């Protein structure tokens, strides 16, 4: 009889058998896959596991604190919060090309992870939240787009470079099974049901040059949009929803004066796997109310648009 409880026991047995008394390191991203992998491995080998949360300064409002807090307090899991936002934002200064941004972030991520991992004496294993579809994809589209999409999170090439062996306890599971396992392991439902979030974070939701000012405005606008979606009970019907801050300022009028502030775009899509997507059909009332809230509550934005592009021909992200 197949149950997640049985899978959990079996996975724990296998992890113990593979790892023995050696140390394991894990790059925790705050996503569901790496989180479930980390909690499962921690259950199997306790403090032989150390997690590293690489904070690139491109997370959403309060997100890093929430993720780190949950794992430290709720799971008592050894976790290094590698706050390297100054490093990442510094290297991204003046960069506007989307692929260059991704390369910089991916490269720094590996450097930073390696730096912290080297500080953990005698680590022999690297844990990854690789799923069954990732295994399939990397075989059938080797070098193709799906590999590029995942390349940031899976710290590609790192195990060989550092001489580490892989621990991948989710390799046989699909996404819905990982969620079920996360539930079994006691991860909060709100955490398990979170929308996917790209490795490069807000960098690819800030087309063009990234500045601290734009990031701060974007975080606030995004938080209002997600709050609206939750309040209207729509969060679980949507695959991903976010705000992109546009590299353009427009004129507006507020009170007695004119404003000259950033425009933003709301993006919300339905999808099964992220490969194709349709824009979410919000009501006009919802859109109007959301635009009003963002413009009233977020200083620095005076115009709000809704992106109604499907994928293809558009992508989900703006970069």
Nearer to ligand XMP, 129 or 200 (CB): 200
**Is 251 known to sit in a ligand binding site?**
no
Nearest approach in angstroms of CB 229 to ligand XMP is 16
Q: Does residue 310 have a known ligand-binding role?
A: no
Cβ neighbours of 190 (radius 10 Å): 9
Choose between 200 and 207: whose C-beta lies nearer to ligand XMP: 200
Helix (H) or strand (E) holding 288: helix 284-297
CB of 138 to ligand XMP, least distance (A): 14
Q: How far is the CB of 246 from ligand XMP (least distance, A)?
A: 16
CB 200 to ligand XMP: min, Å? 5
Q: Is 32 annotated as a binding residue?
A: yes
Q: What is the CA radius of gyration of the chain?
A: 20
Residue 202 and residue 207: Cα distance in Å, rounded? 9
As a whole number of angstroms, the distance between CA 258 and CA 260 comes to: 7
By C-beta, is 30 or 199 nearer to ligand XMP? 199
What DSSP string runs through 86-150? HHHHHHHTT---HHHHHHHHHHHHHHHHHHHHHTSTTEEEEE----HHHHHHHHHTTTSHHHHHH
In the block, residue with structure tokens 């989307």: 98
Binding positions for ligand XMP, rule: CB under 6 A = 102, 149, 152-153, 196, 198-200, 240, 274, 311, 315-317
In the bound complex, what is the minimum distance in angstroms from residue 89's beta carbon to ligand XMP? 17
Per residue in 221-246, is it b (16+ CB within 10 Å) or e — as a string? bbbbbbebbeeeeeeeebbbbbbbbb
Q: How many Cα neighbours within 13 Å face the side chain of 28?
A: 30
> Which CB, 55 or 261, lies closer to ligand XMP?
55
Q: Is the dihedral of CA 189, 193, 199, 203 positive or negative?
A: negative
34 annotated among ligand-binding-site residues: yes
Residue number with CB closer to ligand XMP (253 or 272): 272
Ligand-binding site membership of 146 (annotated): no
Q: Which residues are annotated as a binding site?
A: 29-35
Q: Which residues are annotated as a binding site for ATP?
A: 29-35
């Amino acid at each position: 009889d197949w149950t997640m409880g049985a899978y959990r026991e079996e996975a724990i047995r296998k992890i113990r058998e593979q790892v023995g008394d050696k140390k394991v390191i894990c790059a925790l991203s705050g996503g569901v896959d790496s989180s479930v992998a980390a909690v499962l491995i921690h259950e199997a080998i306790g403090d032989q596991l150390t997690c590293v949360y690489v904070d690139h300064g491109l997370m959403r409002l309060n997100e890093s604190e929430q993720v780190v807090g949950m794992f430290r307090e709720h799971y008592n899991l050894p976790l290094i919060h590698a706050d390297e936002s100054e490093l990442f934002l510094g290297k991204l200064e003046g960069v506007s090309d989307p692929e260059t941004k991704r390369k910089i972030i991916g490269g720094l991520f590996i450097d930073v992870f390696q730096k912290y991992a080297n500080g953990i004496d005698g680590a022999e294993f690297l844990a990854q939240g690789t799923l069954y579809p990732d295994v399939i994809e990397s075989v059938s589209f080797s070098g193709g787009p799906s590999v590029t999409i995942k390349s940031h999170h899976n710290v590609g090439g790192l195990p060989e470079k550092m001489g580490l062996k892989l621990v991948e306890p989710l390799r046989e599971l699909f996404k819905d099974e990982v969620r079920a396992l996360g539930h079994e392991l006691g991860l909060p439902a709100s955490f398990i049901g979170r929308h996917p979030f790209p490795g490069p974070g807000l960098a690819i939701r800030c087309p063009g040059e990234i500045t601290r000012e734009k990031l701060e405005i974007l975080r606030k606008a995004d938080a209002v949009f997600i709050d609206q979606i939750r309040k209207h009970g729509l969060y679980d019907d949507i695959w991903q929803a976010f705000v992109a801050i546009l590299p353009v300022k427009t004129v507006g009028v507020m009170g007695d004066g004119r404003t000259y502030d950033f425009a933003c775009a709301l993006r919300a899509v339905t999808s099964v796997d992220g490969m194709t997507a349709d824009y979410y059909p919000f009501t006009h009332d919802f859109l109007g109310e959301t635009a009003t809230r963002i413009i009233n509550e977020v200083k620095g934005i005076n115009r709000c648009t809704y992106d109604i592009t499907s994928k293809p021909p558009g992508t989900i992200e703006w970069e």
